[in-house]
Amino acid sequence: MQELQRIKDRFENDLSTTGMDLIQLFKKEGIDPLGLGDFVRSKTRNWNEEEWKKEYRTLNVRLNVKVNLTEMGIRK
């Protein structure tokens, strides 16, 4: 069980780090493949696309990664 927890923690850490690196790259390049702008637009009155493009680069984004391993073993 201790090994399983260590694997889960490692996966969560690696996915968080890689995900945040990707999000920083997206923000730097000014692209929004995750659709964050669509989400914000759906929750905001008088949404302005030009303002969003300016705010997007400084947007504070956090990832909450939880890994659930259902099986563990060796495959032949």
76 has a pLDDT exceeding 90: no
The 10s digit of each residue's pLDDT in 6-62 is 989 999 999 999 999 999 999 999 999 999 999 989 998 998 989 998 899 999 999
**pLDDT category of residue 75 using cuts at 50, 70 and 90:** low
pLDDT score, position 64: 94
Long-range interactions of 42-48: CB distance < 8 A, separation 24+: none
Contact between 26 and 33 (Cβ < 8 Å): yes
Contact between 12 and 67 (Cβ < 8 Å): yes
